[in-house]
Amino acid sequence: MILSQSAVCGKVFPSLLFILLLPLNGIAQTDIVKTDTAKKASEGSRHAMYGGMGYGSNMIYMGSTISQNQPFEYASITYGFKSEFFASASAVHLTGYNPFIAFYSGSLNYTHVFNSWLDIAAGAYRYQIAPSLADTLFGSFTYGDLTVGLDWNLLYSKISAGGMLSDQNRLYLQIKNSRYFQTREFLKKKLYVSFDPYVSVLFGTLIEVETKTGTSIKVIPRYGRWKYFLQHTTYTSYNKKFGFMEVDFGVPVALNSDKMTIEAELCYLLPGYEDNDLPAPKGFVFLLGGIFRIF
């Protein structure tokens, strides 16, 4: 049996959540491409502020489910500077859990575009769980990553390496290929629809659990005489390894304007490991979110 090392491991969907939650997974599911609303809003000002909210059927982060396969809702606020530095804070409600705000997340991100084919990004993210849910969902954690983006004209590739900032080494590598395209502007050139289908592969730290049952013979003194008995023992070994965790296929569709973006995404996940205690996320994930420019 192979387990994901962390119950809070992939990315969060969709790419719209770069400015709202970040990473995920997603799973996770991390995406550091800004939405078109953010790009346009930042062109005429050094400072920008955005608000966002949304709903998802499951929250996937680094190959595991943060929300325990439950739906979630979120609200977020983000500050941007010169279209390169972003600071974001979010509050997340999980259906069926109390308190109402299950956890908060905060992120700091830097992005830089060198030319038409190369860009880089770096980010640090903190997830702070409500104390009463720490044993049920996950422990609070910090994550950091570095990403390189390569534009091949026909495809846009992102290679992201990151890890949990803790006393245990938990490393992750995500390779994502996408193809962005959009419709012509309509309604007096105020709106357009964009599509960004992608395939993403996630590698990460796994723990391989091997259990063996053996028999040993022992003797003990009893009433002045030696007695023999059989004792059955179980031996369990844990081996850390770096391997394939998940592949995702997604199609984000967004309605864009200068002041707002509304995006829906349907994604299908195929896990690469087995865990009887915490099954790997599998199947369809849906998310609907919106981001609007405050100034």
Residue range 267-281: mean pLDDT, rounded:
77
Q: What is the pLDDT of residues 247-267, one digit of tens each?
A: 999 999 999 998 899 999 999
Residue 26, pLDDT above cutoff 60: no
Residue 278, pLDDT above cutoff 80: no
* pLDDT category of residue 145 using cuts at 50, 70 and 90: very high
* pLDDT category of residue 128 using cuts at 50, 70 and 90: very high
For residue 54, what pLDDT is reported?
93
45, 76 contact by CB (below 8 A): no
Q: Record the tokens describing residue 286, joined without a space.
A: 């849906």
* pLDDT category of residue 168 using cuts at 50, 70 and 90: low
Residue range 133-162: mean pLDDT, rounded:
91
Largest Cα span, the chain: 100
Which pTM does this prediction carry? 0.78
Query: Residue 246 sits in a domain of what CATH number?
Result: 2.40.160.40
120: domain range? 2-208+238-293
Residue 42, pLDDT above cutoff 90: no
**Residue 79 falls within a domain, yes or no?**
yes
Q: What is the pLDDT of residues 214-230, one digit of tens each?
A: 655 444 444 444 455 55
For residue 28, what pLDDT is reported?
33
**Residue 226 falls within a domain, yes or no?**
no
**Residue 269 falls within a domain, yes or no?**
yes
For residue 276, what pLDDT is reported?
62
For residue 76, what pLDDT is reported?
93
Residue range 152-180: mean pLDDT, rounded:
88
Total domain count, the chain: 1
**Residue 140 falls within a domain, yes or no?**
yes
**Residue 215 falls within a domain, yes or no?**
no
**Residue 274 falls within a domain, yes or no?**
yes
For residue 189, what pLDDT is reported?
84
Q: What is the pLDDT of residues 93-107, one digit of tens each?
A: 998 899 999 999 999
For residue 197, what pLDDT is reported?
95
Reading phi first (left if > 0) and then psi (alpha if -120 to 50, else beta), residue 32 is in alpha
Q: What is the pLDDT of residues 50-109, one digit of tens each?
A: 999 999 999 888 778 888 888 999 999 999 999 899 999 999 999 889 999 999 999 999
114, 105 contact by CB (below 8 A): no
**Residue 31 falls within a domain, yes or no?**
yes
**Residue 143 falls within a domain, yes or no?**
yes
